[in-house]
Amino acid sequence: MSNILETLVMYFQYPFVQYAMIVGLLIALCSSLLGVTLVLKRFSFIGDGLSHVAFGAMAIAGVLGVSNNMLIVLPITVLSAVLLLRTGQNTKIKGDAAVAMISVGALAMGYLLMNLFSSSANISGDVCSTLFGSTSILTLTKPEVWLCIIMAVIVIAVFLIFYHKIFAITFDENFAKATGVKADAYNLLIAVITALIIVLAMNLVGSLLISALIIFPSLSAMRVFKSFRSVIICSAVISVICAGLGIIISILFSTPVGSTIVAADILVFFMFWLVSYCKK
Amino acid sequence: MMKYQIIAILCCVALLTACGKNTEIVQNPEDTAQTTAENELVIPENPDADPASDIDLTTLSSTMVYSQVAAMMYTPEQYEGKIIKAKGLFSVYHDEFQNKDYFAVLIKDATACCSQGLEFVWSGDHVYPDDYPEVGKEITVMGTFATYEEDGATYCQLLDSSMIVDA
């Protein structure tokens, strides 16, 4: 045990491990804050859809040879988030069908573009890395870390500033509208923040596992706690602990970072489910 | 009022993506010298490491090895002259145009889908394929980290390397 601790202390002296931990915990915190709202509003799969859009956008950035792919990935993902919300409300293709359509469409087009036009010698490695995160979080540069920190601070600040409005539209959108809350504008805000989190979280767990980061902590917290605030606090704590634990386990025992974090989330979900079952 | 707040947030996001351009500065080998002065190389003390090496990758977990090699590729100037010990799969690349063989130790990540090749030059007179192991054999190499320019690109390699073929 002391050997493991010594190894861990030694690993934490590496700058890339410190960067991974800072960014990982911030992403986990952000995703858990929004997760509760998304789950309660039945938007759990919007994260999945948007992450696939981000994958497609990343492929386009790669094909165009754009060095900083955030310039393409972020606007496309934000635009898709807005379109998904609008499409869900007003057109013949409703909610889940629109998400599914955009999700698989973007994934297929992204993979197709990567295969047809990629200049990389290791396409399968690139795809695997983007879909499952691989060790992306452990290969961040200092400017990327700062970008993640600033974006995370914006997400947290927006959530705290508009907490009461988000609470209102999460539980009863029609009532919120009747009381003068501009629900459409706040839905748009939630969509934009969700898109931001998706783009950030692709580094941590990859685009296929992002939904887990959004839904598992919220669902776990909902097993035990009942008020909106307590669920959000518990969800944030679970998410941060699982992300930290996942990163530590992956560097100690050479497991893939993304799936280790999700495995920790699943384990906590079952523990909380058991607690709620015993309480009944 | 709300509309203006949202517009302000979107503007901040757009500004942030523009700031992200700085990431390219670090990844560009020509500009990395700027960051060297700011970022001192941190080599944690590792009691299990081979005392003959500065960085012993053979004692780290595979996730750590992959990340450390990635860091070496991002900022190679920080590692110039350091003695590196690495373990991985023997790999060869033959350049048809120059009729030259490049030898590397291949380091895979935890998901085994990504790999980093660390080129090495085996010290002494050796002929390929007679003296070299089979491609895919596990080897341990130790050599001095250096960079070189070829066709306008910067490459990393371990010079004066020793090589042990693992049983």
Residue B159: is it exposed, middle or buried by C-beta count within 10 angstroms (0-12/13-18/19+)? middle
| B94 to A72, A110, B134, B162: CA distances (angstroms) | 36, 31, 15, 21
List C-alpha distances in Å: A22 to A29, A75, A137, A262, B146. 11, 25, 10, 18, 31
> In which residue are the tokens 């090895």 written?
B65
pLDDT at B104: 92
The pLDDT of residue B162 = 92
Shortest CA gap B18–chain A (Å): 7
Q: Which of residues 234-273 of A touch B (CB under 8 A)?
A: 250-257
ipTM: 0.76
Using alpha carbons, list the distances in angstroms from residue B6 to A46, A182, B17. Answer: 20, 12, 17
Q: pLDDT value at position B41?
A: 76
Q: In a structure prediction context, what are the per-residue pLDDT tens digits for chain B, which is 167 residues long? A: 444 544 454 444 444 444 333 333 333 444 433 344 445 677 888 888 888 999 999 888 888 888 888 888 888 888 999 999 999 899 999 888 888 889 999 887 665 666 778 899 999 888 888 889 999 999 999 999 999 988 888 889 999 999 999 86
Q: How far is B124 from chain A (nearest CA, A)?
A: 31
CA A155, CA A164: separation in Å to the nearest integer?
15
Which of A70, A123, A156, A162 to mutate to test binding with chain B, by most B CBs within 10 Å of its CB?
Answer: A70
Chain B contacts of A194, Cβ < 8 Å? none
Q: Measure the CA–CA gap between A231 and B89, rounded to whole angstroms.
A: 48
- By the 8 A CB rule, do B91 and B131 touch? no
- β pairing state of B138-150 and B83-95: antiparallel
pLDDT value for A56: 87
- For residue A254, give how far its alpha carbon lies from the nearest alpha carbon of chain B (Å): 5
Taking CB atoms and an 8 Å limit, are B115 and A122 in contact across chains? yes
As assigned by CATH, the class of the B41-165 domain is: mainly beta
Alpha-carbon gap: A268 to the closest alpha carbon of chain B (Å): 23
For chain A, which domains are there? 2-274 (1.10.3470.10)
Which residue in chain A has the smallest CA separation from B15? A71
Put simply, the answer to whether B70 touches A185 (Cβ < 8 Å) is no
Q: DSSP letter at B43?
A: -
Tens of pLDDT, residue by residue, chain A (280 residues): 678 888 899 999 998 999 999 999 999 999 998 888 888 888 777 778 888 888 888 888 878 877 677 788 888 988 888 887 665 555 666 667 777 888 888 888 888 888 887 666 566 666 776 777 655 788 888 888 888 899 889 989 998 999 888 888 888 888 888 888 888 888 888 888 888 888 888 767 777 778 888 889 999 999 999 898 999 999 999 999 999 999 999 999 988 888 899 999 999 999 999 999 887 7
